[in-house]
Amino acid sequence: MSFDKSNPVIEINTLRKSYGENLVLNGFNMKLFEGENLVIMGKSGCGKSVMIKCLIGLEEPDGGTIMVMGKNINNLKREDLDELRTEIGFLFQGSALYDSMSVRENLEFPLRRHTKKFGFLEDTTPLVMEALENVGLANAINLMPNELSGGMKRRIALARTLILQPKIILYDEPTTGLDPITSKEIILLMMSIQKKYNTSSIIITHDVDCARVISNRMILLVDGINYKEGTFEELSVSSDPKVRAFFK
């Protein structure tokens, strides 16, 4: 998988975030390039989710800068931040489907909420069907979430992420809780979507197999900083004990 190293779509510099005495991020730096799959690995509670929340403006950092598609998100007005978020898709760890809505209604929700991007759509069916076809579940359009398996829920959540045609996708533990076969299917689906739409993706995962297959580059987040960066092959043969711990 190739990507454009001359064009960072996200650039984080010296990001700092504390909660009282708990220092979570202590000068974290990161670049995500156009068309890249960047895997971030770290222990539970190391700040991965906090970094993502800062990235999309849900948390305000104590210091540092976050540039997304050339815009400093800390300086954006609420309306401009909301518009920028339509270019960023987020696949939540638990899928986060609305239980009271059908699959169709779950996918229609972001279209109804973000009318500025597509305008008011009298008929959302073409966009809904395209998104479902991308994940191989066009026949599930009228099902309810409680009628879906765990793998199907993850696919539908990914379809909902794709429906706004984002340029950047953030994956939070995309294979957690899935059996090995379904995990492999989700990984292959993520790769297919990246190839089809040339999305730039950040993948937060503890799944070493997922990282090996999907990553162009990896960052190991340790003690609030980007401790080591490199390809899977480079990091997996490191003699550094802190790096080796990720590949046991």
Would you state the pLDDT for residue 244? 92
Collapse the DSSP code of 115 into the 3-class scheme (helix H, G, I; strand E, B; otherwise coil) and give the result: helix
User: Would you say 61 and 54 are in contact if contact means Cβ atoms under 8 Å apart?
Assistant: yes
CB 179 within 8 A of CB 125: no
Listed as ranges, residues in the chain with pLDDT below 70 are: 1-2, 4, 94, 115-121
pLDDT at 90: 86
| Contact assessment for residue 186 and residue 157, using Cβ atoms and an 8 Å cutoff | no
Rounded to 5 degrees, what are φ and ψ at 198?
55, 40
pLDDT of residue 243: 93
In the chain, the percentage of residues whose pLDDT exceeds 70 is 95
Check residue 116 and give its pLDDT.
67
- The pLDDT of residue 212 is 94
Residue-wise DSSP of 50-101: HHHHHHTTSS--SEEEEEETTEEGGG--HHHHHHHHTTEEEE-TT----TTS
* Residue 148 C-beta-side C-alpha neighbours within 13 Å: 24
The pTM of this model reads 0.88
Instruction: Count the neighbouring beta carbons within 10 Å of the beta carbon of residue 149.
Output: 11
d(CA 43, CA 25): 13
Tokens representing residue 109 in the block: 């929700």
Three-class SS state of 44: coil
pLDDT for 47: 83
